[in-house]
């Protein structure tokens, strides 16, 4: 069962530690990333937003997204060259 406040807690810990948001960090490392955001906490961030891993897997299997989908790399321009 999802815990609605858990995302905010994790986000607060990450920000307090000075870490980059996960998708930005993944894109900087050349990795595609998706916001698993069932509570809509990252609705304002660019990229692909899905409620959970099951929805991501279903979208992949149904062909609605591909692993090279540009929505998985909204911060690719931030990657080191």
Distance CA 8, CA 67 (A): 27
Q: Is residue 1 part of a domain?
A: no
Which residue did the predictor score with more confidence, 31 or 11?
31
Is residue 14 included in any domain, yes or no?
yes
For 18-37, what is each residue's pLDDT tens digit?
A: 445 678 878 787 888 888 88
Q: In sequence order, what are the beta bridge partners of 49?
A: 35
- pLDDT at residue 62, as a whole number: 93
In a domain, residue 50? The reply is: yes
Residue 66 backbone dihedrals phi, psi, to 5 degrees: -125, 160
Instruction: Flag whether 59 is in a domain.
Output: yes
C-alpha distances in Å from residue 13, one per residue of 20, 53, 81: 11, 22, 29
Q: What is the pLDDT of residue 67?
A: 85
For 1, the token pair is: 């069962």
Give the pLDDT score at 63: 93
Domain that holds residue 65: 6-78
pLDDT on residue 81: 55
User: How many structural domains does the chain have?
Assistant: 1
For the segment 40-70, what is each residue's pLDDT rounded down to a tens digit? Answer: 888 888 888 999 889 989 998 999 998 888 8
Is 38 part of a structural domain of the chain? yes
């Amino acid at each position: 069962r999802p815990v609605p406040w858990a995302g905010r807690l994790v986000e607060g810990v990450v920000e307090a530690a000075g870490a980059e948001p996960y998708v930005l960090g993944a894109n900087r490392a050349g990795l595609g990333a998706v916001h698993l955001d069932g509570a809509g906490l990252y609705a304002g961030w660019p990229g692909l937003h899905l409620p959970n891993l099951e929805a991501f897997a279903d979208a992949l299997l149904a062909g609605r997204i591909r692993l090279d989908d540009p929505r998985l790399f909204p911060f690719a321009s931030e990657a080191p060259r």
